[in-house]
Amino acid sequence: MTQKRLKVVFCWSTISGYMAACWRALTRHPEVELSVLAHRPGASTHAAFAEEIMEGIPCRLLDDGEKNDAALIESWVVGQKPDIVVTTGWWLSAYRRLVDVPVLRRCAFMTGVDTPWRTPLQYVNRFRVGRYLRRLDRVVVAGERAWQHMRRLGVPEQHLGRGQYGVDWQGLGSVVAKRAAADWPRRFLFVGRYVTEKGLDVLVEAYLGYRALVDDPWPLECCGRGPLGSMLSGQPGIKDRGFVQPIAMHERWRHAGVFVIPSRFDPWPLALVEAAAAGLPIIATEACGSGVELLRERFNGLFVPTSDVQALAMAMVHMHQKVADLPEWGERSRMLASAYSAEAWVERWIGYFRAARDFAG
């Protein structure tokens, strides 16, 4: 007997290239009928992905005036007649309220969490959202730091899953092949929002320090946008590309030799994962949560202390001097990132969906 396709609704925040890659892969799976509800990127959004990235994915994008319209969101989700509803954490109250909708009580509910455990003050969420967490059939975390967070909030191990995110690992394979056909690029690359959390000021100062320590400094390319963008203007060796759409990013990954991410706070940066999938060695601060899963010290990259300008400058010098080792380091990054391909993401989530279906049955 043929199993009925599961109707799965993802209620997400702003669209992104990496989630679009995962959802598109999920639409090809015969067990699932997918619908996505997400926020339309606004003009002020630091990561303004074009809506075209959602082509082929059944979706409804919410305007600024609709994001907090609980009645509209409830009506849309109910109209999909879902078997499973997946939300993005608990910070969007209009999504969180869906667990209390009578018509949806037969549904399985899941959520994704990437927030790490940082301070005992987070225990307050046991009381603020404890009831919500207890209603969930599965909490899928991005990595180990978020797993520890959820355990401290009382989520049982049996309700936890790993692998919240995936990236277009297969698509980035073409980048790796093109880079391998030429000399290894002598260029650093940063991808992220131009904000204090991402450590852009630390990056600029460290890069200038690096330039003073070598005879033939590599350029630094930055892709992103945000209020600190002016810090890049007029700096020797630095090129500001602005925000780059996923397809155009292939060229940026191809011409990079080392990825640098100097964040002060970054729960599970996907740019780091995409850099690994693109076959790049990585320099990351200890604040970068995805480094726990994707970076191995002096195997495919270097960790540096958070906000340490001198350590970051010296890490860049190390990469500069070890350029002959970088292709092998990049291959190792690519291997580690394979666990986070969109296809691997689908297999993980299909397992969670099946468990929820069997439990409900």
Please indicate, yes or no, if residue 33 is contained in any of the structural domains: yes
Please indicate, yes or no, if residue 1 is contained in any of the structural domains: no
Mean pLDDT of 218-241: 97
Residue 47 confidence class, pLDDT cut points 50, 70, 90? low
Give the pLDDT of residue 13. Answer: 94
Query: Residue 157 and residue 148: Cα distance in Å, rounded?
Result: 10
Give the pLDDT of residue 220. Answer: 98
pLDDT over 50 (residue 361): no
Please indicate, yes or no, if residue 214 is contained in any of the structural domains: yes
Which tens digit of pLDDT belongs to each residue from 76-97?
A: 999 999 999 999 989 899 999 9
Q: Are 134 and 113 part of one and the same domain?
A: yes
Please indicate, yes or no, if residue 264 is contained in any of the structural domains: yes
- Say whether pTM exceeds 0.85: yes
Q: Are 42 and 96 part of one and the same domain?
A: yes
Q: Are 177 and 292 part of one and the same domain?
A: yes
Which tens digit of pLDDT belongs to each residue from 15-37?
A: 999 999 999 999 999 999 999 99
Percent of the chain with pLDDT over 70: 97
Average pLDDT, whole number, for the chain?
A: 95
- Name residue, tokens 């076959």: 279
Q: Are 240 and 345 part of one and the same domain?
A: no
Phi-psi region of 307 (alpha: psi -120 to 50; beta: other; left: phi over 0): left
Q: Are 135 and 31 part of one and the same domain?
A: yes
pLDDT over 90 (residue 48): no
Q: Are 33 and 134 part of one and the same domain?
A: yes
Q: Are 299 and 158 part of one and the same domain?
A: no
Mean pLDDT of 117-122: 93
Give the pLDDT of residue 286. Answer: 98
Please indicate, yes or no, if residue 351 is contained in any of the structural domains: yes
Which tens digit of pLDDT belongs to each residue from 167-191?
A: 999 999 999 999 999 999 999 999 9
Give the pLDDT of residue 357. Answer: 74
Q: Are 77 and 162 part of one and the same domain?
A: yes
Overall residue count recorded for the chain in this entry: 361
Q: How many domains does the chain have?
A: 2
Give the pLDDT of residue 271. Answer: 98
- Domain encompassing residue 278: 173-339
Q: Are 192 and 136 part of one and the same domain?
A: no
The CATH number of whichever domain residue 161 belongs to comes to: 3.40.50.2000
Please indicate, yes or no, if residue 208 is contained in any of the structural domains: yes
Q: Are 202 and 329 part of one and the same domain?
A: yes
pLDDT over 70 (residue 225): yes
CA atoms in the 13 A half-sphere facing the CB of 47? 16
Please indicate, yes or no, if residue 58 is contained in any of the structural domains: yes
Please indicate, yes or no, if residue 247 is contained in any of the structural domains: yes
Q: Are 74 and 98 part of one and the same domain?
A: yes
Q: Are 324 and 178 part of one and the same domain?
A: yes
Give the pLDDT of residue 41. Answer: 86
pLDDT over 60 (residue 360): no
Residue 1 confidence class, pLDDT cut points 50, 70, 90? very low
Give the pLDDT of residue 4. Answer: 83
pLDDT over 70 (residue 359): no
- With contact defined as beta carbons under 8 Å apart, do 336 and 14 qualify? no
Give the pLDDT of residue 140. Answer: 97
Which pair of tokens denotes residue 153?
């909030």
